[in-house]
Each structure stands twice: as C-alpha cells, then as structure tokens.
Amino acid sequence: MKWLFVLLLLTASLHHTQAQDITALIKEGNRLEAIPDENAAFHKFREVLKHQPLNMYALCRSSELCSRIGKRQTNPKVRADYYNAAKTYAGIALKINPNDADANCVMAIALGRSSMSKSGREKVETAREIKKHLDVSLNSDPTNFKTWHILGRWEYEIANLSGMERTIVKILYGGIPPASIKQSIIAFEKSRALQPGFLLNYLEMARAYKDDDQTQKAIYYLKHLLTLPNQTEDDPAIKEQARKYLAEWK
C-alpha cells in the first residue's frame, strides 16, 4: 500500500505542477497580447492548447487573435488560413459549451471577418449565422462589450445590403431580422458604455452617426478616439482611418 500512496502523491504533484505551468502560460499570453505582440501571444495560447486541448480560455483567445492577425495579412491565402483557424478554434469551444458567451462572440468575429469579401447568397447566409451566435452570446452575458460591438456592425451591414442581396434574402428566407442604422448606434453605444477604451468601436460608431446625419457627433467620437491609448496592433491603423474621416467630414 505504501507504493500506492507514493504514486498518488507523485500524480497529485504532477497535476499541480502542470496547473501552475498552464496558469503561467496564460498569464504570459495575456501579457504579450497587452504589449501588444499578438503573434507571440497566439503562440503562447497554442502552447496552452498542446497541454490542454479543451482549455476554453485559450481556444477563445486563439480564435480572436487569428481573426485579428488574419485581417492584417496581404496574402489572400494566408489571410484565409488564419480565418479558417479562427473558426476552428471557436468551433471546438462551442462543442465544449454551445452557450458560452465568449465562444459565440469569437465565432461571430471569425465569421464576420471571413465574409467581408463575400457577396450575394453566401454573405446573406453568413449574416444569419452571425446573428444566431450574437443572440446566444448576449443571452449568456449581456455585458460582453465585444458582442455588442459586433451586433452594431451587423445592424449596420444589414441596413446597407444591396438591392440584389435583399432580393436573395426575400427569395430564400422570406426576410431577415430587421436592422437599421439607429439600431446599430444603440448597440455601439452599449459597447462604449461597457468598455470606453475600445478604439474600433468608436470608428464604426462614427460611421453610423455620419450615415444618420449626425456628423458633429461622429466627428466628436473620432477626435475622442485619437486621444485613447493603443491596445491592439490594429489601433494605429484605426487612428489613421479616423484622421482620414476627419479630413473628409469637416
């Protein structure tokens, strides 16, 4: 029996050490993402998944990082590979917990990014799938600021569907959930209230206000955006776009 007791102690010690290692890897991944060094952060979360393939946090962070990194790729194939990886990580997380707010959020992000260059039927089908994930995410966690932001973007894009795309929606589905620029503004404002430092939200919200003939409010938010610290590798480009809008809208 003594050998069994020793074995149990060794097993418990091994599990404790592994848990400490995973915690350290996640902490380092978060630190790298905050710098920001998103490629290094992604590789760190992949290390977590080598030890714990079903770690929900690492799956969601890996998915969102792939969506962000993919957007910056100039090679279409490399970009598509990142977007497919983002959907794969999110898909695994959703199989673990279909109602998880973050898993549904990152899947909506991945689907949104991968559908940017699409049009017609494929774009409409993806839009419907995105909305389902957004509804589940907000039902699970109404305070998820990223989900509110994506909902604002979804409302904006649906409100601006082309005539052909609206015809496809009507023929195939009999319609799509109603959307409007004003509804997109409401969603963007909820995201802003939950996370005032989210730069991309200000940029997209400013576009919506401009389209709603509230140009001065749009300009106000763009100017405010430029005062905020960068938090992601996309933020310098977001600020550059904000400057371009300011020059055009003044």
**Residue 121 Cα to chain centre, angstroms:** 23
Q: Are residues 189 and 121 in the same domain?
A: yes
Q: How does residue 100 score in pLDDT terms, banded at 50, 70 and 90?
A: very high
Q: Identify the domain boundary among 174, 195, 216.
A: 195
Q: Are residues 103 and 155 in the same domain?
A: no
Q: For 44-93, write each residue's pLDDT tens digit.
A: 999 999 999 999 999 999 999 999 999 999 999 999 999 999 999 999 99
Tell me whether residue 153 is in a domain: yes
Tell me whether residue 166 is in a domain: yes
User: What is the mean pLDDT of the segment spanning 123-129?
Assistant: 81
Tell me whether residue 215 is in a domain: yes
Q: How far apart are CA 136 and CA 31, in angstroms?
A: 29
Q: Identify the domain boundary among 79, 114, 149.
A: 114
41: domain CATH number is 1.25.40.10
Q: How far apart are CA 39 and CA 41, in angstroms?
A: 5
The encoded tokens of residue 36 equal 């920001």
Lowest pLDDT segment from 11-20, 92-101, 201-210:
11-20
Q: How confident is the model at residue 8, as a pLDDT?
A: 45
Q: Are residues 145 and 174 in the same domain?
A: yes
Q: How confident is the model at residue 35, as a pLDDT?
A: 92
Tell me whether residue 103 is in a domain: yes
Q: Identify the domain boundary among 99, 114, 129.
A: 114
CB 128 within 8 A of CB 176: yes
Q: Are residues 151 and 107 in the same domain?
A: no
Q: Are residues 159 and 225 in the same domain?
A: no
The number of beta carbons lying within 10 Å of the beta carbon of residue 35 is: 11
Q: How does residue 177 score in pLDDT terms, banded at 50, 70 and 90?
A: low
Residue 165 clears pLDDT 50, i.e. is over it: yes
Cα–Cα–Cα angle for 161, 138, 33, rounded to 5 degrees: 90
pTM for the model stands at: 0.86
The number of beta carbons lying within 10 Å of the beta carbon of residue 43 is: 14
The encoded tokens of residue 92 equal 């695994």
Q: Are residues 121 and 191 in the same domain?
A: yes
Tell me whether residue 174 is in a domain: yes
Buried/exposed 147-183: b ≥16 CB within 10 Å, e otherwise: bbbbbbbbbbbbbebeeebeebbeeeeeebeebebeb
Q: How does residue 123 score in pLDDT terms, banded at 50, 70 and 90?
A: confident
Tell me whether residue 96 is in a domain: yes
Taking CB atoms within 8 Å and a gap of at least 24, the contacts of 185-194 are 185/152, 185/209, 185/212, 186/152, 187/148, 187/149, 187/151, 187/152, 187/155, 188/148, 188/149, 188/152, 190/145, 190/148, 191/145, 191/146, 191/148, 191/149, 191/152, 194/143, 194/144, 194/145, 194/148
Q: Are residues 188 and 140 in the same domain?
A: yes
Domain that holds residue 150: 117-195
User: What is the mean pLDDT of the segment spanning 143-162?
Assistant: 90
Q: Are residues 143 and 158 in the same domain?
A: yes
Q: Are residues 123 and 143 in the same domain?
A: yes
Number of structural domains (the chain) is 3
User: What is the mean pLDDT of the segment spanning 179-204?
Assistant: 95
User: What is the mean pLDDT of the segment spanning 203-230?
Assistant: 96
